[in-house]
Every structure is written in structure tokens, then in C-alpha cells.
Structure 1
Amino acid sequence: MRSNEDSYLLVSRDLLVLLMERTGDGSRVTVRELADEVGVHPSKIGHLRTGEQETLPRTKALACARRLGVDELVLWKPTGRAVCAPLEEPHIQAVPA
């Protein structure tokens, strides 16, 4: 079953690897540690690093950016609409006179 949540596209797998080597606080984070904090299986982080996967749900992508100490848009690009689609105006039907 697929979630209705918007996906975020990884901007650069090389950047992800670099940020894991030196996070915002200067420490290193392993694949397993990042996966635990984001709430995904370690293989998902591994696949992001190798390019086998390019997206995460919004909440997971934000958790990943937060753990690495960067703004979400440094590492991720939203793939959904920025705003909701406009609602159609109700059609007025002509009534016979």
C-alpha cells in the first residue's frame, strides 16, 4: 500500500555520504544509526547512498536532514505540488423557462 504523503527527492547521493561523514555537529553517523533515527530499514539508507533509491516520504526526509544538521532543502527536493490544486467552480446548469 502506497502512502498519500509527498515524496522528497534526494538532491545528491554524494552529498548524503559527505554529510554522514561529518554531520552538523561534526560527528559521523553510520547507516544503521541514521536509519534508526529516521525510522527506516538500514537498507533504505544504503540504497539512497548507492542511487538504487532516490526518494523518501516527507516526514522521513525531514528527519534525515534534521539528524544530519542541514536544512531539508539542502539535501531534498519536494516532488509534489507546492500548493493544492484549485477547486473547480461549480457549474451552473441552465434550467428550462
Structure 2
Amino acid sequence: MVREPRYRLVKPDLLRELMGRTGTGSDISGRELATQVGIPHGTVDALLRGATKTQPAGVAHDISRVIGVDLLILWAPTGRAVPDEDSVSDIPAAAARV
């Protein structure tokens, strides 16, 4: 089974700032954003607090669309250069020297 690509939120504070003035010029609350995207409002809260760092591609695209910005303004695709929160681990010092 192929896992949907994930995107890492670049800066939670930027999301908060852009929620204050969306592409339409109006503000949007976390609850409103969650409702329009179709996710639990706790997910938006966790993103804003930095407790959650990544979202599936579809959610990242939808958040960007609702806010009114290009995807890569808020998100970075995970992969070799940008690990997702599920694959981040401490590398033992000995392994890092190899």
C-alpha cells in the first residue's frame, strides 16, 4: 500500500498570520478553517502550536487553498531533505561519523 505524500508546515506562526488576512482579505478562525478543509479543529490547533508538524498532501493543499496562498508558501514536501515527524529519529553519534 502506497502512503499519501506528506507535507511539513514550514512555520506555524506564518499560518497564524495568514489566517488573520486570507487571500480574500478577511480573517478565518481555526474552527472555520478546519470546517472548510474537513478536518478536526484540533488538527489546526495542533499545527498552530507546533505539536503536529505534517499533514497528508490533500490536507496541505486544502489548507493552502482556503487560506489563499500557494502550497509551498506554507508547506515543504517531506522526503530526504525534509523528514516527516514519523521518520525523525536520533542518529547515534557513531553512525553519524560513518
Could you tell me which residue of structure 2 aligns to residue 15 of structure 1? 14
CA deviation profile, 1:24-82 (whole Å, cap 9, x unmatched): 1110001111001111100000000000001110001000000001000000001147x
Could you tell me which residue of structure 2 aligns to residue 76 of structure 1? 75
Q: Which amino acid aligns with 1:28?
A: D
Structure 2 residue runs of 5 or longer lacking an equivalent are: 81-98
Q: Which amino acid aligns with 2:10?
A: V
Q: Percent identity?
A: 46
Could you tell me which residue of structure 1 aligns to residue 32 of structure 2? 33
Structure 1 residue runs of 5 or longer lacking an equivalent are: 82-97
- Aligned length, in residue pairs: 79
Q: Which amino acid aligns with 2:61?
A: L
1:34 aligned counterpart, secondary structure:
helix
Q: Which amino acid aligns with 2:24?
A: D
Q: CA RMSD in A?
A: 1.3
Instruction: Give the TM-score normalised by the residue count of structure 1.
Output: 0.78
Residue pairs, 1:39-78, within 5 angstroms: 39-78=38-77
TM superposition outliers: structure 1 runs of 4+ over 2 Å = none
1:45 aligned counterpart, secondary structure:
helix
1 CA distance for matches of 2:59 and 2:37?
Answer: 6
Query: Which structure has the greater CA radius of gyration?
Result: 1
Instruction: Give the TM-score normalised by the residue count of structure 2.
Output: 0.77
